[in-house]
Amino acid sequence: MVLCVRVHRPGGPGPLPEQLVVEDVPLPPPGRGEIRLAHTAIGVNFIDCHHRAGRAPLPSLPHGLGIEAVGVVEALGEGVNGPALGTRLGYAAGVVPGAYASHANVPSWRLVPVPDDVDDVTAAAVLCKGLTAEMLARRVFKVGPGHRVLVHAAAGGVGSLLCQWLRHQGAMVIGAVSSAAKAELARRSGCHQVVVTATESVVDVVQAITQQRGLDVVYDGVGRDTFAASLGCLRKRGLLVMSGHASGLPLPIDVALLQSGSWFVTRPVLTDYTATRQELLHAAEVLWKVVRGGVLRPHVEAVLPLAAAAIAHRRLEARDSVGSLVLRP
C-alpha cells in the first residue's frame, strides 16, 4: 500500500476539499518498461487543478493527480536494465496522473537524471515548469537580442522562470501580474517593465513602451481573460503563444480576426516537444545547465505535506501564490 491523494468526484476545491481524498491504495510491481520511484518531492502544476475540477478528463474515477515528481529508484520492471537502485530521477508530463503519492510506477523513458547538486525540492519545483520555459523560449519561438516580449502571470511558476530565461537570451521583457504584491518577484525574474493588470491596461502600457510598434511575442498562460489584450499587444506578423488557460479556455477564434495584424497563434504542449527520448534528455540537459549556472533561480513559495494538496490547489486557483508549490510525501 502507498499513500496517495485521489479524486473521487470532480469539482472544488471549495471551502471543504472533499474532492481530494488522502488514502492508502495498492500499487502493483512495476510493469514492463517501468521503474518504481519512492517520491521525495512532488511538483504542483495548474493542470492538476484542471484534472481535479473535471476541466481536463482523467482516465477514470477515483484517480490520482499530479504529473511531476522527483524520487529514488526502488524497483525495476521487466526489460529495464538500470539505473541502479537508489538513483535520483525525475519526471514531468507525458505520464498518467498519479504523482501525488509516496510511490509511483513510471515509464522508464520519461525519467531523467537529477544532478547531484540540485536538491529534491528545487528539482520538483523546476522540472516541468523549466522544461516548459525551455520549449517556449528556445523552440516555439527562438528569442534573442532585440526581441520584445510580454509574459502574462510573470510571477507564477512558469512565468517567473520564463522571464529569467528570456532576459538571459537578450530580450526586452515586459511582465504582467495581477497585483502589486507580485510585481517585485516579476522584476527579480528579469522583467524590464511590470504591468499590474488590476490597475493598468496592458495594451496601453505595451504600446507606449514600444512607441506603437507592438511586441514580437506574447506568452499567455492565463487564457480567456487576457486573449484579446494579448492580440492587441502584438506587432504586425507577431506571435501569440497560448501556453495555458488558468482563467478558462479562450472563446473560439474567428480566423478573420487575425488579419488585423497578420498575426500567428499557437498552443504548444510540452509532450509534443519531448515526444522522443532524445528530445526529452536534450531539453533536460539544457535546463539543468541553466539551473546549475544560476540563470534560472526558481522561487519556491511553500513546501507542503502531501495531505495539504487541497491548500495548494486553492492558492493556485485564487492566484494567491507566487513561484512554485511543492508537496512532500
What pLDDT digit, counting tens, does each position of 94-150 carry? Answer: 999 999 999 999 999 999 999 999 999 999 999 999 999 999 999 999 999 999 999
The predicted pLDDT at position 252 comes to 80
CB 40 within 8 A of CB 329: yes
Q: Per-residue DSSP letters for 18-71?
A: TTEEEEEE--PPP-TTEEEEEEEEEE--HHHHHHHHTSS--SSSSEE--SEEEE
Rg from Cα positions in the chain? 20
The helix/strand/coil state of 193 is: strand
The predicted pLDDT at position 247 comes to 66
d(CA 74, CA 30): 10
The pTM assigned to this predicted structure is 0.94
Domains present along the chain, CATH in parentheses: 2-127+276-328 (3.90.180.10), 145-267 (3.40.50.720)
CB 123 within 8 A of CB 151: no
Which grid cell is 255? 480566423
* Residues in the chain where the model's pLDDT stays below 70: 13-18, 247-248, 251
d(CA 163, CA 154): 7
The predicted pLDDT at position 16 comes to 47
The predicted pLDDT at position 109 comes to 97
The predicted pLDDT at position 28 comes to 96
d(CA 306, CA 291): 25
Task: Give the burial class of 262: count Cβ atoms within 10 A of its Cβ; 0-12 exposed, 13-18 middle, 19 or more buried.
Answer: exposed
**DSSP tally for the chain: helices H, then strands E:** 9, 16
What pLDDT digit, counting tens, does each position of 221-234 carry? Answer: 887 888 999 999 99
